[in-house]
Amino acid sequence: MDKTFKNIFVEIENGIAVLVFNRPDQLNAMNRKMMDEIIEAISSINANKDVKVAIIRGEGRAFMAGADIKEYGNQTSEEFISFQEKGKLLYESIENSTKPWIAAINGFALGGGFEIPLACDLILASEKATMGLPEVFLSLIPGGGGTQRLVQKIGINRVKEMLFMGTPLDAKQLYDWGIVNRVFSDDDFLLQVFDFAKKLSRRPSKSIADLKRLANLSLTEMPFKQRIDDEANTVKKLFLGEEAQKAIQDFIQKNK
């Protein structure tokens, strides 16, 4: 990706794209310009056929400390509505991507900075990471899908505790609750994230795209039978494809 951004940067190597929030002095708080850049970068990564896995991380000691309150608090009604609509597009562009998106949380991930990981497929966290939805302290509520996506991941009582209290929780607690997939040592956090991503990038892209789509279907109101039929049709399509047939025959020959 050749474009130079002001508030983020993107690196692509060996099939892995890394989108980095780059406002470390502001704990990577997201303003309108940064949101526009993130949306553009996600769209570009999603369209890049060479990218197998995408990672989002933050520069410095935070993943993202939510919206930039200085700008956020001074928005006009029209600017606020636009900000919310673009946020919706941001989260959905991750969720609806055919690629697996990994949130690599190295520090604070609060408010919108936690809603982005909730839209990702996997969350890998440093042992020092803390996450939460503290909007209640501003007499607000999460506005980027946090109340809904969090319920999809853990039980309703725990969701209400996080929303009502607004207190950030550490990575270990959220791992125990099933929100975080892996907790890594802070000393070699990025190394372990990339090792995980490399292993994932070796999985067949077609299978991963279908697995993501079908898993996400389980969260919809589509009838169960229709979802099961979709799964059956998908595995048939893959089985009859050249890629799967070669992999199956290779496996048979290897185990003779």
The single-letter code of the amino acid at 23 is R
Residues ≥6 apart with Cβ < 8 Å to 222: none
Is 78 tagged catalytic?
no
Q: Following DSSP, what letter does each residue of 30-83 receive, concatenated?
A: B-HHHHHHHHHHHHHHHH-TT--EEEEEESTTEEE-SB-HHHHTT--HHHHHHH
Three-state secondary-structure class, residue 159: helix
Closest to 115 in 3D by CA, of 51, 60, 38: 38
Is 242 tagged catalytic?
no
Q: Which of 79, 135, 161, 243 is catalytic?
A: 135
Q: Which of 115, 161, 221, 243 is catalytic?
A: 115
Burial 112-145 (b: 16+ CB within 10 A, else e): bbbbbbbbbbbbbbbebbbbbbbbeeeeeebbbb
Contact predicate 111/133, CB 8 Å: yes
Cα–Cα distance for residue pair 8/90, rounded to 1 Å: 14
Closest to 17 in 3D by CA, of 50, 40, 51, 49: 51
Residues ≥6 apart with Cβ < 8 Å to 164: 136
Q: Which residues are catalytic?
A: 115, 135
